Structure 1
Amino acid sequence: MNAPLTRRSLFGFALGAAALTACSAPEPAPTPTPGSASRPTGTAATTSSAAPADTAPSGPATEVSRSDSGRPQVALTFHGAGDPRVTREVLDIVHQHGARITVLAVGTWLAAHPDAARMVRDGGHELGNHTWSHPALSGYAADPMYAEIQRCRDKLVELTGSPGGFFRQSQGQHATERELAEAGRAGYSKVLSYDVDSLDWQDPGPAAIRAAVAKAKAGSVVSMHLGHPGTVAALPGILTDLAGRGLTPVTASELLA
């Protein structure tokens, strides 16, 4: 009997469609086996002169996936990768609706399209770290896992002067203990997970994406993806639905303040 498809296995198929799939690396690195000390190809740590020096770990990061403030707000968070023209379309739509978003950027995307960081920041939105190459991160040993986080962090600092307020693990809704530990080691106090998956990474069509986001409630953190045309098509309706329910899309920092 064939094994059931999971998000992680489906994501592997999506990596082959770079034009439509956000969060995929141009050349995905092989996943080291747990406990391996080897560093994945293409993810060796390189620290730019603009990057902050690592400090003694203060402990693992804390995972947050929603706010319990009671305020009528939600955070639309986008995995940052894909065609920057699609990113521009997303930013134009949220601007028209007066919304603010959080983009968790993949490092290879930032390296290939450095203007993408400026587009996000110029629109009043915020950036965070979503690993360097978007691997199946939970299978990595500590050092190569840290290198994935560190390298994206350093690229964010190089381009924006800030490492971003959040790290988000790749290919998993919730962080493992090791991911929390390595995020803390890289200087992040919070790992931003989510309680609502838009399922746009499956390209199910705009209506299905809109229906999935309709599950969001006050305090929800919604996972979405740049680079998917279906997400762009669904977004106006999503924002109209949220407004009709009295929910304001804000950055994750605002939601969690």
Structure 2
Amino acid sequence: MNGREPEVCRRGALRAGAAALTAGALLAGCADRRGDTRPTVAATSATSATSATSATSTAAAPAHAPAPTPRRFPGQPVQVDHGPRARPRVALTFHGQGDPAVAGAVLAEAERAGARLTVLAVGSWLDEHPGMARRILDGGHDLGNHTQRHLDINTMSESEAYAEITACAQRLRRLTGSIGTWFRPSRTRYATPLVQRLARRAGYPHVLSYDVDSLDFTSPGVAAVTRKVAGEIRNGSVVSLHFGYADTVAALPLLLAEINRRRLRAVTTTELLT
């Protein structure tokens, strides 16, 4: 995630005791928010969170065919921040952390529009919500690695940084049979040369960056998120977005409508580069 991003993906639950929200209620309730700068995440009660996780939980051994593995894309740099500019495709990439109900709402909204996403999951989030790995893949989306604990990987020692990458890769392999399709460094837009080398050693030929930052993690309001992305997106763009923010869920239908209006297709990053 962006280096300026506060530690809010995990702390943003609304006040304790609030009733659990369905995805539909979340979308309806967020549509009227304007300029709320609090780092809000949709709340669920302990009961609903437990049931949501258990309903999608998966055994340690993958129950399906192994998930796609990383690919090398000839002609692409080690650190990819956009795809071909000549084709009308874009990749919406999500940093995977936060309330699983919000994540499910984002995935469902994309699927209703025929869009496919790329989710870079934090390993500790998969530990808490293991069923999200299969939910993402079953929706036809890319699933990748966003480190184990979501710390500033560029400031770590070589051994610490490598452990962050491989620990998340191990979770992905245990849950899906693959280390995932992409690696994105945590708390930074671009990986240092050292982190790039460590990612290759762990099995990821490319590091996934982005050329459009939605800034949704600042909770600037639905209009601001929509305006920021719509103003910068173009052929080949890779957009950085996040699970765990109500503004993002509410803005997604507007963004998908704008992508469609421009006759672009929202595809996985793998498809963007293929």
Which TM-score bucket, shorter chain as reference? 0.7 to 0.9
SS at match of 1:74: strand
Question: What corresponds to 2:272 in structure 1?
Answer: 255
Is 2:3 the partner of 1:8? yes
Is 2:81 the partner of 1:65? yes
Alignment gaps of 5+ in structure 2: 14-38, 42-59, 63-76
Q: Can you list the C-alpha shifts for 1:9-67, whole angstroms capped at 9, x where unaligned?
A: 4424x367243578xxxxxxxxxxxxxxxxxxxxxxxxx999xxxxxxxxxx8100001
1:58-137 equivalent positions in 2, closer than 5 A: 62-68=78-84, 70-137=86-153
Shift of 1:126: 1.2
- Give identity over the alignment, percent: 47
* Matching residue's letter, 1:89: A
Is 2:11 the partner of 1:17? yes
Q: Retained in 1: the 8 A contact 2:173–2:179? A: yes
SS at match of 1:164: coil
* Matching residue's letter, 1:247: L
1:1-257 equivalent positions in 2, closer than 5 A: 8-12=3-7, 14=8, 17-19=11-13, 62-68=78-84, 70-214=86-230, 215-257=232-274
Compared with structure 1, are the counterparts of its residues 184 and 204 closer, same or farther at alpha carbon in structure 2 (3 Å cutoff)?
Answer: same
SS at match of 2:233: coil
Q: Retained in 1: the 8 A contact 2:214–2:228? A: yes
1-structure distance, mates of 2:85, 2:225: 26
Q: Retained in 2: the 8 A contact 1:21–1:82? A: no
TM superposition score normalised by structure 2: 0.75
1-structure distance, mates of 2:141, 2:4: 31
Question: What corresponds to 2:48 in structure 1?
Answer: none
Q: Retained in 1: the 8 A contact 2:9–2:97? A: no
SS at match of 1:213: helix
Number of aligned positions between the proteins? 215
Q: Retained in 1: the 8 A contact 2:93–2:240? A: yes
Alignment gaps of 5+ in structure 1: 1-6, 23-47, 51-60
Compared with structure 1, are the counterparts of its residues 21 and 104 closer, same or farther at alpha carbon in structure 2 (3 Å cutoff)?
Answer: farther
Shift of 1:100: 0.3
Q: Retained in 1: the 8 A contact 2:83–2:236? A: yes
Q: Retained in 1: the 8 A contact 2:146–2:186? A: yes
Q: Retained in 2: the 8 A contact 1:21–1:201? A: no
SS at match of 2:6: helix
1-structure distance, mates of 2:61, 2:141: 25
